[in-house]
Amino acid sequence: MAKQKQQQPKPAPADADAAPPPPEFKTAHSPWFTYASMVTLFTLCPPFVILLWYTVVHADGSVARTYEHLRDRGILEGLKAIWPMPTVVAGKIILGFALFEAALQLLLPGKRFEGPISPAGNVPVYK
């Protein structure tokens, strides 16, 4: 008859109420690639959208006319001529919208909701 091993109970952790450490997250790309992609999107998307707007509104949808505009003036000067300049009215509209949204966040009732744990271990709280 083979001897059976008696299993020893595992000791309880010192702080049984403590949350387990966040899991390790592995990304598909290096952090450098991730940050370079974000910066590229932030810097190239606004000029692209403004070029599309200019092409449709001012060049009657002609990409060739937009290209000629940029070629004749140079890319930077051409974009500067196309780029809409901010106005005081636009600033007031954006500020008013931001204040309205902040008031909604603070004043509307709602249940507290915890978001997913970030790789750094932070837990965002939403209302």
- Identify whether the C-beta of residue 32 lies closer than 8 Å to the C-beta of residue 40: no
**Interval 19-74: pLDDT, tens:** 666 666 666 778 888 899 999 999 999 989 999 999 999 999 999 999 999 999 99
- Identify whether the C-beta of residue 59 lies closer than 8 Å to the C-beta of residue 66: yes
* DSSP codes of every residue in 47-100: HHHHHHHHHHHTSTT-HHHHHHHHHHH-HHHHHHHHSPPP-HHHHHHHHHHHHH
Averaged pLDDT score across all residues of the chain? 85
Share of the chain above pLDDT 70, in %: 79
